[in-house]
Structure 1
Amino acid sequence: MAFFSWLCVLGFTVLWSVASPLFHVQGNGCDFSLGNWVVDDSYYPLYDASRDCPFIGQGFNCLKNGRPDLEYLKYRWKPSSCDLPRFNGVDFLERYRGKKIMFVGDSISNNMWQSLTCLLHTAVPKSNYALQVLSKHLTVFTFLEYDASIMWLKNGLLVDVAHDKEKGRIVKLDSIKSAHKWNGVDVLIFNTYHWWTHLRDSKTLVQFQVGNEIIKDMNPMEAYKIGLTTWSKWVDANIDPSKTRVLFQGIAASHTEGKGCLNRTHPHHGPQPPYPGVEIVQNVLSGMSCPVYLLDITLMTQMRIDGHPSFYTGKGTSYEDCSHWCLAGAPDTWNEILYAALLGL
């Protein structure tokens, strides 16, 4: 572990050359996480999901599902002290020719993965691709000309989960045996949060385990902190930053409380209240010897109450989705930040 911890410190000094302990502040002093949404109908949306990317999941294709308003498609994220670089899909693919990029996380991670595949395909529409569902957990999108693979590995909690007939579902907060699936990848983009918030609401009995101790009643945020710390220790012990770059997709805000997101057609503006879980993420990442780049998307998603599918998921009006995001939409900005972070712009 000490060997890789030393490599992490040395490697990040070379690769990132930034001063912030959480690495969401760029070397030019611009913090992409702070800003506002502005209308830019000359450049956005970056694609038409139905026309340009037929592989986009039904639940994210809000226009195809009948959403009548168009304003939500035209917003650009404007950081407070700089401009976010334009996404260049051809440049991205050239730089990651022969490489593997893996998103590891829940359906919000899937949202970002689908956005990236669409952005890249739109940049090279005549380039052949292969979309493979290799298991119920792993989906791979490969740009054949570039031998570049963009993968999504479904893993909502990152730590291990066991299923017991009598005890129900057991979340093993200090166990991460499934991490072997993350090996051999050039870029890892992790995400975990939303499943933790639903554990108390689960119809299946959920218990937590630390060592040999079973804990029946634990605050989900306390469990989240322990689980995320387990993940951070794995990264510190196993990642060689000269071979693999690691990012953490920050918490995307949902708008499920109150009146929800139905008929919301414009973003919020101005300061937003603290969001649950964010402080935990910041504290865990700042304590790592191998810091990851935090894709800090919480504030920008708090503002985008208009960006959710709401009733326009293709499932009818009995289901309102105020957690996921329409494509085209807010996740495209997350990938613009990813592009800038990976290339050090």
Structure 2
Amino acid sequence: MESSNPIEELHQPLLKKLLCYPLYVIFPILLIHFYLDPFYSSSTNIIIQTPFTNPITTPPPSLPFSLCDYTEGEWVPTEAAPLYNGSTCATIKNGQNCMAYGRPDRDFLFWRWRPSHCDLPSFSPSAFLRLVSNKHVAFVGDSLARNQLESLLCMIASAAEPHLVYTSGEDNKFRRWIFPSHNATFSIYWSPFLVKGIEKSAEKNFNQLFLESANEIWAKDLKDLDILVFSAGHWFLHSAVYYQNGDVLGCHYCENHTEIGFYDVFGKALKTAFESVIERGREMDVILTTFTPAHFEGDWDKLGACAKTAPYKEGEKILEGMNEEMRRAGVERVQEARARARDSKVRFRVLDVSKIALLRPDGHPGPYMNPYPFANGVGEHVQNDCVHWCLPGPVDAWNQILLDLISRGS
């Protein structure tokens, strides 16, 4: 056995030491490189900028996983106030401006998400703006997509003012803002099915979805988009008839057609949307915000439908049933799209917030979707919103993770 006596090592030839010492440096570097980019490609360079560095040119990352598992962790108290409030941000939808509408408690504002195995940096508005300089960020989906974008705009607006340059549709379903200081554009596209669809009406009390075609409302603009965030799911729970290639595929909660549920249909809609991006889009980042659970614990029109004022503790509530199935459908479709896009310039990622959202029953407007609902006492019927999120509120953490995903390039 070779001796490890330090006195004997002093007598080893100088040449041997000169050859060995560089290996001690090179080998760890190679290991780190392989860990960060195990499938290194020599494709065209891209520019990546983090909150802590100036722009640098580096090969595009090809990580098959995220560097941080954000899904495991807990909500912990914090003394740090949100970056904005109901009076400092002009883009909050009225029904989610809980403080301005008279919500009396404030504890729901002072929690932060702490992952179990990594650190989640605080949101930096200036860092986000640097990352999206000269880019177009689009949120596509339902009212929860709008909820997340309005949160993001409020967070960024603490550093620079957004200018509303376009609005259209009932309840401002289509809007666009620019940040002139960074030539950054943000848009919201109302498309609750992602694919072509006809929403229910007084004449037809069911939705109609055409699963083979992406909704041209957003797909026609793919050539102009750089970061695309999809967020949809809750509209798939409604009564609907599904069509594919001109034929009725089935329906959910309707008459005269075969009941096929909505899990597989949701997956098909995501697949169509993702394929449209791959086929018609340019180089871009595509991020899916996973399904966020509602917290109705009583009748939607009665007092106390979502009355909790603190998060669930770790293990107190688990993701299961419909909530888990919708999350799983989204994650699996992203994994499939990532494999299909391997030779393209489209990068697919998951913003997995289903469990994070599940643990925040206190974060919804509840009765404060309307201004001062109890000014004249508690009525027989009290409207409650236990689906969307107060602004500021837990949804701000989604954008905290979004920033970290984009800056890491994972």
- Using structure 1 for the length normalisation, give the TM-score: 0.85
Question: 1:252 Cα deviation (Å)?
Answer: 1.1
Number of positions where the alignment pairs a residue of Structure 1 with one of Structure 2: 319
Deviation for aligned residue 1:221? 1.8
Counterparts in 2 of 1:262 and 1:166: CA distance versus 1, 3 Å: closer
Matching residue of 2:353: 297
**Judging changes above 3 Å, is the alpha-carbon distance between structure 1 residues 307 and 170 closer, same or farther for their aligned structure 2 residues?**
same
Cα deviation, residue 48, structure 1: 1.3
Q: How is 1:137-176 mapped onto 2 (pairs within 5 angstroms)? A: 137-162=173-198, 169-176=207-214
**1:284 corresponds to:** 333
Note the C-alpha offset of 1:56: 1.2
Match of 2:77 in 1: 39
Q: Does 1:183 align with 2:223?
A: yes
Deviations along 1:85-119, one digit per CA (max 9) or x if unpaired, are: 11111122133222211000100000100001101
Write the distance in 1 (CA, Å) between the matches of 2:353 and 2:183: 29
Offset of residue 59 of structure 1: 0.8
Pair 195,167 (structure 1): closer, same or farther in 2 beyond 3 Å? closer
Q: TM-score, normalising length from structure 2?
A: 0.72
Q: Deviations over 1:9-55 (max 9, x none)?
A: 968995444232xxxx22xxx211221100111x23222122x1033
Correspondence list, 1:102-251, <5 A? 102-124=138-160, 127=161, 129-130=163-164, 132-136=166-170, 137-162=173-198, 169-178=207-216, 179-197=219-237, 199-200=238-239, 206-214=240-248, 215=250, 216=257, 217-240=259-282, 243-251=283-291
1:192 and 1:144 mapped to 2: Cα distance? 29
What root-mean-square deviation, in Å, do the aligned CA atoms of Structure 1 and Structure 2 show? 2.6
Secondary structure of the corresponding residue to residue 325 of structure 2: coil
Q: Which runs of 5+ in 1 are unaligned?
A: 1-7, 201-205
Distance 1:101 1:166 in 2: 34
1:255-274 CA-to-partner distances (Å, cap 9, x unmatched) read: 12447653210001123132
Q: Is the 8 A contact 1:261 1:308 kept in 2?
A: no
Q: Give the C-alpha shift of residue 151 in structure 1.
A: 1.0
Q: Which runs of 5+ in 2 are unaligned?
A: 1-40, 47-57, 251-256, 342-346, 374-380
Question: Which range moved further: 261-270 or 319-328?
Answer: 261-270
2:385 is matched with 321
Larger radius of gyration: 2
